[in-house]
Amino acid sequence: MACFTCCGTLSENDNENNEQEAPQEDEQNETVGTAGKSARRMSNASKAGYKAPYRSSYRASLRASIKEIVHNKYKLSFANISFKTDSSKHKYIHEEINKYGKGNINAKIFTYHELCDATKNFTSENLLGEGGFGRVHKGYIDCLNQVVAVKQLDRNGFQGNREFLVEVLMLSLLHSPHLVNLVGYCAEGPQRLLVYEYMAKGSLEDHLLDREPDKKPLDWQTRMKIAEGAARGLEYLHETANPPVIYRDFKASNILLDENFNPKLSDFGLAKLGPTGEETHVSTRVMGTYGYCAPEYASTGQLTTKSDVYSFGVVFLEIITGRRVIDNNRPSEEHNLVVWAQPLFRDKSKFHLMADPSLEGDYPLKSLYQALGIAAMCLQEEASTRPYISDVVIALEYLSSDKTVKLEDNEEEAEIQVDNEAIDEEESDQPGNAAVKEGKES
């Protein structure tokens, strides 16, 4: 199992110095901060010479504070990672990565000059995509003899130093065939670049929601294959990683495809460690992409692995329908994909209306029904009623297999054969048919 216990947390003083950059801290950080303040109050009280009756209560308070610190000491909180000034960001980024990685970071450190050479100075011809985080360029690393994708973070964009550090740590400590591989990074001066393995087919969004007219639409089996692989990526984060990791940004643009349309999850800047022990959730700032966030997370900030399951349900519905979760170009009642689909989920006779028109009816009907059933379960309003992602994987494993198509084809052939036999029986039972049959035999 992948384990993060090798990583620690920043000291309390570091957290206090960083309040301006991270004004909202998680409950876990608040616990550590409270514990530290209690310890300092005890120290001052001792120096002031408090009377004996009060000392026992202060000792008890100190013991409780120390217990809290020890409890939280071994829990990795990536939200604690922040820096005091721009100069310290530039100077200590490598030290922070080594500190938190505890020698387990195998990603190569590139110079900015090396990545300029690899991408031919980030020319537009090598541009693969662009988003709120910055731009991604295709490149070639001579020393590794490898084609790569280089993500250059926009210094004014959504992804800052904390997210940069989180992504380097996450992708260095987590290893799965369903997660994109981090080749290396660059943190030279103000530059922040991440170097990934190159995924030849781009993102799921490119083929599903931003498909060019000359591109062939994804067929049904490929869609189910992509959904299964993406679900396996979440399964690894939720049930193999220790402690579990909540992805928090599951969407079509973060699912990358190789030359055989095998999917891998990318962009871990918003990933968060999940609840452990008796904890039921993690409280944090609401972050992510509008339309994909689970309702309980959006309203309360309480995050669980079931929040990712909801996001998966949204993307799976996009895969089935070929529609964006938010599309203001459609009629007002169809702007929000989930709102539009909810009444249709309750009427099986209308299931065919949710299938992507670009499929032109080329899909097994029973498979469509089952896929919509999975999506509906993942999109339950109450988090407790949603399935675990491992259950979703089992269901999708069946839907993505060739056995499903073959089985349904055989069932259709059997139904046709039964219908033909029934027609023959009806004809033989009609008056005069027996005489005609005898005449033919003679």
Q: Which residues contact 344 (CB under 8 A, 6 or more apart)?
A: 350, 351, 353, 354
- On whether both 143 and 98 belong to a single domain, the answer is yes
Secondary structure (DSSP) of 274-306: ---TT---EE----S-TTTS-HHHHHH-EE-HH
pLDDT above 60 (res 39): no
Q: Which residues contact 237 (CB under 8 A, 6 or more apart)?
A: 174, 179, 244, 245, 246, 247, 265, 271, 308
pLDDT above 90 (res 197): yes
Q: Is 159 exposed, middle or buried (0-12, 13-18, 19+ CB in 10 A)?
A: buried
Residue 157, domain member (yes or no)? yes
Please report, for the domain that includes residue 242, its CATH number.
1.10.510.10
- On whether both 430 and 281 belong to a single domain, the answer is no
pLDDT at 169: 84
Distances (CA, A) of 305 to 160, 171, 271, 416: 24, 19, 11, 45
Instruction: Using DSSP, state whether 183 is helix, strand or coil.
Output: strand
pLDDT average, residue stretch 80-97: 52
Residue 6, domain member (yes or no)? no
**How many structural domains does the chain have?**
4
Q: Give the domain-ending residue among 385, 400, 415.
A: 400
310: confidence class by pLDDT, cuts 50, 70, 90: very high
Residue 314, domain member (yes or no)? yes
- On whether both 113 and 43 belong to a single domain, the answer is no
- pTM for this entry: 0.72
Give the integer Cα–Cα distance in Å for 106 and 184.
8
Q: Give me the helices (H) in 83-219, please.
A: 86-101, 112-118, 161-173, 204-208
- On whether both 183 and 210 belong to a single domain, the answer is no
- Whether cis (ω within 30° of 0) applies to the bond prior to 357 is no
Q: Which residues contact 181 (CB under 8 A, 6 or more apart)?
A: 171, 196, 197
- On whether both 262 and 388 belong to a single domain, the answer is yes
pLDDT above 70 (res 28): no
Domain of residue 413, residue span: 405-441
pLDDT above 80 (res 347): yes
Q: Give the domain-ending residue among 197, 218, 253.
A: 197
Sort strands 255-257 and 263-265 into parallel, antiparallel or unpaired: antiparallel
Residue ranges with strand state E in 167-242: 182-186, 193-197
Q: 416-442: per-residue pLDDT in tens?
A: 454 555 545 555 555 555 444 455 454
pLDDT above 80 (res 322): yes
171: confidence class by pLDDT, cuts 50, 70, 90: confident
pLDDT average, residue stretch 271-288: 83
- On whether both 119 and 261 belong to a single domain, the answer is no
Residue 323, domain member (yes or no)? yes
pLDDT above 60 (res 317): yes
Token pair of 50, please?
């408090």
Nearest of 206, 198, 190, 186 to residue 126 by alpha carbon: 198
Task: Give me the active site residues, please.
Answer: 249
Token pair of 389, please?
């992602």
- On whether both 27 and 104 belong to a single domain, the answer is no
pLDDT above 80 (res 249): yes
pLDDT average, residue stretch 33-40: 49
The answer to whether 292 and 314 have CB atoms below 8 angstroms apart is yes
Give the integer Cα–Cα distance in Å for 267 and 318.
20
pLDDT above 90 (res 151): yes
- On whether both 303 and 350 belong to a single domain, the answer is yes
Q: Give the domain-ending residue among 180, 197, 214.
A: 197
Residue 1, domain member (yes or no)? no
Q: How many CB atoms lie within 10 A of CB 152?
A: 21
- On whether both 386 and 427 belong to a single domain, the answer is no
Give the integer Cα–Cα distance in Å for 301 and 407.
44
Distances (CA, A) of 326 to 53, 314, 371, 373: 64, 11, 21, 21
226: confidence class by pLDDT, cuts 50, 70, 90: very high
Tokens 């991408």 belong to residue: 119
Q: How many CB atoms lie within 10 A of CB 349?
A: 7
Give the integer Cα–Cα distance in Å for 402 and 206.
25
Residue 135, domain member (yes or no)? yes
The region of weakest confidence among 73-87, 120-134, 203-217, 306-320 is 73-87
pLDDT at 82: 41
Instruction: Using DSSP, state whether 267 is helix, strand or coil.
Output: coil
Give the integer Cα–Cα distance in Å for 95 and 242.
24
pLDDT at 211: 87
> Phi and psi dihedrals of 234, rounded to 5?
-65, -40
By percentage, how much of the chain surpasses pLDDT 90? 49
pLDDT above 60 (res 182): yes
DSSP secondary structure letter of residue 118: H
Give the integer Cα–Cα distance in Å for 310 and 379.
5
Residue 2, domain member (yes or no)? no
Instruction: Using DSSP, state whether 206 is helix, strand or coil.
Output: helix
The answer to whether 226 and 263 have CB atoms below 8 angstroms apart is yes
63: confidence class by pLDDT, cuts 50, 70, 90: low
- On whether both 138 and 219 belong to a single domain, the answer is no
Task: Count Cβ neighbours within 10 Å for each residue of 189-213 and write b for 16 or more, e otherwise.
Answer: eebbbbbbbbbebbbbbbbbbeeee
- On whether both 246 and 338 belong to a single domain, the answer is yes
E strand or H helix at 57, and its extent? Answer: helix 52-73
Q: How many CB atoms lie within 10 A of CB 259?
A: 9
Distance of CA 182 to the CA centre of its chain: 16
Please report, for the domain that includes residue 178, its CATH number.
3.30.200.20
- The partner residues of 282 in beta bridges, in order of sequence, read 303
Instruction: Using DSSP, state whether 401 is helix, strand or coil.
Output: coil
pLDDT at 352: 94
- On whether both 63 and 128 belong to a single domain, the answer is no
Give the integer Cα–Cα distance in Å for 265 and 255.
5
Residue 17, domain member (yes or no)? yes
Nearest of 311, 346, 153 to residue 234 by alpha carbon: 311
Q: Which residues contact 280 (CB under 8 A, 6 or more apart)?
A: 304
pLDDT at 84: 40
Q: 375-416: per-residue pLDDT in tens?
A: 999 999 999 999 999 999 999 999 988 655 555 555 555 454
pLDDT average, residue stretch 182-188: 91
